[in-house]
Amino acid sequence: MLFRSLKGRNSRDTRVSEIMSSKVVCVDGDRSIEECMALMTGRRIRHLPVVQDDRVIGVISIGDVVSAAIAERDFHIQQLESYISG
């Protein structure tokens, strides 16, 4: 079986702890899409655990955040078009 290297290492011989982030950035469920996007962009992270009462209740990806932002933008555009056209 062929294994790809991770940071120059063989995946078969590399422990996750050797390549993972040690200080995980998390958010609570009350964060807005804009806040999550800013945090993910600023920290250059692609996945963000969502924590409630010191327990992980989910993980959102940058794709989730972008999709939600696009859906929100499209909703606002639709509302403005309806308002303009009467």
User: What single string gives the DSSP state of each residue in 6-37?
Assistant: ETTEETTT--HHHHS-SS---B-TT--HHHHH
d(CA 51, CA 24): 11
Q: How far, in Å, are 2, 24, 60 from residue 7 at the CA level?
A: 16, 19, 25
What pTM did the predictor assign?
A: 0.68
Confidence (pLDDT) at 46? 92
Q: What is the pLDDT of residues 24-80, one digit of tens each?
A: 899 999 999 999 999 999 999 999 999 999 999 999 999 999 999 999 999 999 999
pLDDT for 5 beyond 60: no
d(CA 76, CA 72): 6
Confidence (pLDDT) at 7? 67
Confidence (pLDDT) at 6? 62
